[in-house]
A and B are shown apart, each in its own frame.
Chain A
């Protein structure tokens, strides 16, 4: 049985058990922990899921995720600028995110077709190069809602926009449920679950399988008459759109939309989570995303109380980053 679990998953599970033991020893309330873990899972699941389409199409890990995240942030800003609130605001944000994400994703896919075989490193720098362009946009774009702008000067969006007056917690608070003392954010989990299921279903259809063939054997795909370039562009588009939706889900739960450089901080944790879920070049699906995000986010959650109890508290974030980057490096070495 253990042989079927990929080594990154195994290592992380062991680590998680150790953390859990330490946390319980330190006297952490397990029901509260379970509730928080479920919320963190729902928050990040779509972002991790967004890596799957490109991985499937043989384009590797999407290190260009900041492009999709920027699209999502733009969708949210458009919705907020129209002063929409509640469910309507969130729906408008999602609509904007999908529209902008499709555009960005199409162009991103076209560019990545030039960098075939080096999509990962190209994605890193396309993402990093795109962020300053977005920063110029955030600074100069004619947004007019004062709640989004810098308090002084009246021009330029602030780096951290509070979503409370708009659509913070729309998914979380809508259908909260308490099961055996555990607060279950049902709306959030349902939303993420539906998207996960849709992606899983898509790859089970005949059309979806043609995408997988492109990733598995490009020459065979060409013989079958599948447009490899077209499928790759579509995969980049899908990844970008899902990342855009993912950041909307994340932000409504977190309560803030963070612009400028913050759009890049999601990438490596999401990549690590997918790898922890057992994804590899040959096998990546919604199930890997779900398993990975569950393990990774629980680890993330547990590390704070454990580090507070046993280590210097200021080292927590660094420990997490060591684990994140260590898992990614390990996965590269095994491939």
Chain B
């Protein structure tokens, strides 16, 4: 595992890392198209190569992806189609993490709470026996305000634990998940009658493990479904993801983004400028949780089946690992990094079981490797972040 001490910090690179840069460019050459000479010329590929050389995490993932694809022996159109599907499914969840990072709160591991609000909305619509547009409307009308409310609650809690937001958000996510599961198991059929008994367990109370959402099936995915060069994907889903990405990008550029960065930089100085830090942090959390709910809705319509008790779990881990794979840190993240990260991380995710199967004749090994990578990336980001702060202090 390469350990990149001071390279991501920016600033003038020491003499040693120049040679490292050359070496890493050679590694990425298979993808960049061998353009060491084009760097000075400023071609797009050359710029990408230069950017990669200063961003070790995407570079590492690019290498891992290349190795993984090679070992898995899967056809490129298959991988491309899978990755495009996951790009549509997972990007908005990764985008949801950007705003709290910008406001200096680190990774929002309470993201599953937003996902649970989305699932709650869908479940209420299903349990009420609604169908068609009425069901979709009800689900949205419940999920979005609910997620905003829960986001405000989380924001208030996190405002009381400044400096340790991440560990507390982990506990909030777990506690929220327990309560949600308790509600799903205890309320429908027992405390509240359900109009649609097919969602209940056979004993008549508690929800089934998975619920088929007929009204929600592929409502975006089936819009503008096209096949290009053997790769089929949905223009509708991509368009929606693009709109969310544009919205987050705009938010970062807006007055809100400016305030968030000021709060992250120095709360006291921001307060002197008339910004209320706690309010900005709260807003970041509300937006993040609402985006989490939207992301989960997009995810579920693509999957078309709702795993009632487990669908929200790990949404935070996947989103965080993807965002960090794209070169984000705990202090800065951009929309481009989120998109790139989802592409890289999910490519690895698609190929790793087959890669494990082919090299060690054990698919489980590939899965262990990918969960190691997901958690390891987050652990590494936390370690590196601290070191950087220590140097500046």
Contacts and interface: CB of A to CB of B under 8 A. Distances in A.
Interface of A: 63, 111, 114-118, 120-122, 124-126, 128-129, 131-133, 135-136, 139-140, 268, 311-312, 314-315, 318-319, 321-322, 325-326, 328-329, 332-333, 335
A251 B387 CA distance: 38
Interface stretch (B31-39, B111-119, B159-167, B213-221): B159-167
A66 to B, nearest CB: 11
A325 B176 CA distance: 9
B166 A318 contact: no
B246 to A, nearest CB: 31
Would you list the 7 A-B pairs with minimal beta carbon distance, nearest first? A125-B379, A129-B375, A325-B175, A132-B372, A132-B368, A128-B375, A129-B376
Contacts of B175: 322, 325-326, 329
Contact of B372 (A133, A312, A322, A335): A133
B362 interface: yes
A132 B382 contact: no
B254 interface: no
Given A116-B386, A122-B383, A322-B175, A329 B185 contact: no
A124 B167 contact: yes
B365 A129 contact: no
Nearest to A135: B368
25 contacts: A116-B386, A116-B390, A118-B164, A121-B106, A121-B166, A122-B383, A122-B386, A124-B167, A125-B378, A125-B382, A128-B375, A128-B379, A129-B378, A133-B368, A135-B364, A136-B365, A139-B368, A140-B365, A312-B185, A321-B174, A325-B174, A328-B171, A329-B171, A332-B171, A333-B157
Contacts of B195: none
Nearest to A117: B386
Interface of B: 106, 157, 160-161, 164, 166-168, 170-172, 174-175, 178-179, 181-182, 185-186, 190, 205-206, 360, 362, 364-365, 368-369, 371-372, 375-376, 378-379, 382-383, 385-387, 390
B186 A325 contact: no
A315 B185 contact: yes
A315 B369 CA distance: 34
A63 B170 CA distance: 11
B178 A139 contact: no
A131 B360 CA distance: 19
Contacts of A117: 386
Nearest to B368: A132
Residues of B contacting A: mostly: helix
A312 B368 contact: no
B182 A322 contact: yes
Given A120-B167, A121-B167, A325-B175, A315 B182 contact: yes
Given A139-B362, A333-B160, A118 B382 contact: yes
Contacts of B385: 118
Given A124-B170, A332-B168, A132 B369 contact: yes
B386 A120 contact: no
Given A122-B382, A332-B171, A312 B186 contact: yes
Given A133-B368, A332-B161, 11 more contacts: A63-B167, A111-B383, A122-B379, A124-B167, A128-B375, A312-B186, A325-B171, A325-B175, A332-B167, A332-B168, A333-B160
B174 A268 contact: yes
Given A132-B372, A139-B365, A328-B171, A318 B178 contact: yes
Contacts of B371: 131-132
A315 B186 contact: yes
Nearest to B356: A136
A126 B171 CA distance: 16
A164 B93 CA distance: 47
Contacts of B369: 132, 136
Contacts of A329: 157, 168, 171-172, 175
B178 A322 contact: yes
A111 B172 CA distance: 26
Contacts of A115: 382-383, 386
A309 to B, nearest CB: 16
Given A120-B164, A314-B206, A328-B171, A129 B382 contact: no
Contacts of B365: 136, 139-140
Most buried by A among B168, B172, B175: B175
A319 B385 CA distance: 36
Nearest to A125: B379
A114 B387 CA distance: 6
A318 B382 CA distance: 30
Given A114-B383, A120-B167, A122-B383, A318 B372 contact: no
A128 B317 CA distance: 11
B383 A333 contact: no
Nearest to A122: B382
Contacts of A319: 182
Contacts of B181: 318
Nearest to B385: A118
Given A132-B371, A136-B368, A322-B175, A312 B190 contact: yes
B164 A332 contact: yes
Contacts of A121: 106, 164, 166-167, 170, 382
Contacts of B362: 139
A329 B154 CA distance: 12
A132 B387 CA distance: 26
Contacts of A126: 379
B377 to A, nearest CB: 9
A132 B375 contact: yes
Contacts of B161: 332-333, 335
Nearest to A334: B160
Contacts of A314: 185, 206
A117 B368 CA distance: 29
Contacts of A131: 371
Nearest to A314: B185
